[in-house]
Amino acid sequence: MAIVGGGLGGLACAQRLARHGGKLEVHLIDRRSEHHFPPSFPWIAVGKRRGKQGEASRPLANLVGRGVRFTQAEVTGVDVDRGAVSTTSGEVPYDQLVLAPGATLAPESVEGLAGAAHGFYTLAEAERLRDALVTFGGGRVLIAVAETPYRSLAAPYELAFLVNDFLRRAGVAARVDLLTAEPRPIPIAEPAVGERVAGMLERRGIGLQPGRVLESVDPSTREARFGEGSEPYDLLIAVPPHRPPGFVAVSALAGSNGWVRAEPFSLGAESNVYAIGDVTEIPLAGGSTLPKAGVLAQAQAAVVADNIAALAAGRRPRREFDGSLSYYLDVGSGRAARAKGLFYRSSRGGLRLRRPSRRWHRDKVLFERRSLRWLR
């Protein structure tokens, strides 16, 4: 069987299948040689973690010898009729396929954004943002969310808290403002959750302007242009538009907007093909879709891996993904809030936000450690 993508979902699926043992051959394919842990990127941006020194990355080759074969290659196509994945290193046949390639960042979709804004959705971007924050002399930090959907349902809000805390502790005179295309923070949840996040931002002096759609950026004048006017900045950080990977968007598995429409409970996308994580678009009641979050990808991976292992052993697959989420939002000063809910139960997942505490921050750190431990 083959797994495309060595991110949170693909890696978790490979790990779990390897633990099942048996005669199942697992082949993991990723264009990178290392697994980078996205939940650590905001911490890297404010100097709380190192990147390539090992705190947030691990070599995928460490999987070799643990029941997983790894190939570093770019995937260029999927032929579901023949059961084969095309890559820059040749064709990989499969009897079962798990698609977990994630989403592609597309800053070029907004005029001027790519050359003007710092990002934090890759390890390299987080490290460049860290360097920019260390040398930042003060002024206005503008965090712009260009459009939805994007990875990690609260990532820009967490970054706003952390950047504000970092600059305050460094004694830098700065104002952090977050402008987002969303109608409110975490709109997938009940309005009360968004109001609580907005209140936490306000108490820390962080500005919030929802419903602002980014149209272009002029780096020469340091202005971000929105539908309702321009906003000046001294340091621009952006959540760029997210797109499905090109080979997915042109495949028979793609829906009308390029994402894979997986069955909500089994994660099946086609006969012998499963899709997990950010590459999916799973509809929810009320017209919304399941958010793109690493913790959901990991939970989906466990369901798919157990069902594939059951099929390989001649048993009926019985596990179903229930849409549950447990998520930690770092608000700075060693505290984190906890969001928990079940998205398949209601259109807004019954998502509840617990007040920030040191306990939830410790749990967030433990989640990071557990996620990276297997590749040591």
Question: Of 178, 177, 179, 173, which Cα lies nearest the Cα of 136?
Answer: 173
> Start-end ranges of CATH 3.50.50.60 in the chain?
2-103+244-312, 106-187+194-241
| Selection from 35, 67, 72 nearest residue 54 by Cα | 35
Q: What is the pLDDT of residues 126-139, one digit of tens each?
A: 999 999 999 999 99
Size of the chain, expressed as the number of residues it contains = 376
DSSP β-ladder status, 229-232 and 235-239: unpaired
How many other C-beta atoms lie within 10 A of the C-beta of residue 22? 10
Q: How confident is the model at residue 50 (pLDDT cuts 50, 70, 90)?
A: confident
pTM: 0.94
Tell me, rounded to whole angstroms, the distance of Cα 119 from its chain centroid. Answer: 13
Q: What percent of the chain has pLDDT over 70?
A: 97
More confident residue, 375 or 50: 50
Task: Work out the mean pLDDT of the chain and round it to a whole number.
Answer: 93
286 versus 93: the higher-pLDDT residue is 93
Whether domain 2-103+244-312 has CATH 3.50.50.60: yes
Q: Is 313 exposed, middle or buried (0-12, 13-18, 19+ CB in 10 A)?
A: exposed
**Contacts of 348 by beta carbon, 8 Å cutoff, 6+ apart:** 188, 189, 190, 286, 288, 341
How confident is the model over 307-363, as pLDDT tens digits? 999 999 999 999 999 999 999 999 999 999 999 989 887 665 678 899 999 999 999
Looking at residues 198-226, what average pLDDT do you find?
A: 97
- E strands, 276-364, where? 324-332, 335-342, 352-357
Nearest to 103 by CA among 227, 266, 265, 281: 281
The domain 106-187+194-241: what is its CATH number? 3.50.50.60
pLDDT at residue number 22: 73
User: Are the CB atoms for 252 and 261 separated by under 8 Å?
Assistant: no
What would the pLDDT profile of 145-187 be if each residue is shown by its tens digit? Answer: 999 999 998 999 999 999 999 999 999 999 999 999 999 999 9
pLDDT in tens, 99-136: 999 999 999 999 999 999 999 999 999 999 999 999 99
Q: What mean pLDDT comes out for the span 267-295? A: 93
**Alpha-carbon separation of residue 323 from 3, 192, 290, 340, 367 (angstroms):** 22, 21, 8, 11, 19
For the chain, count helices (H), then strands (E): 9, 23
Q: Which residues of 174-208 are buried (b: 16+ CB within 10 A; e: fewer)?
A: bebbbbbbbebbbbbbbeebbebbbebbeebebbb
Cα(195)–Cα(129) distance, integer angstroms = 28
What does the pLDDT read at residue 351?
Answer: 85
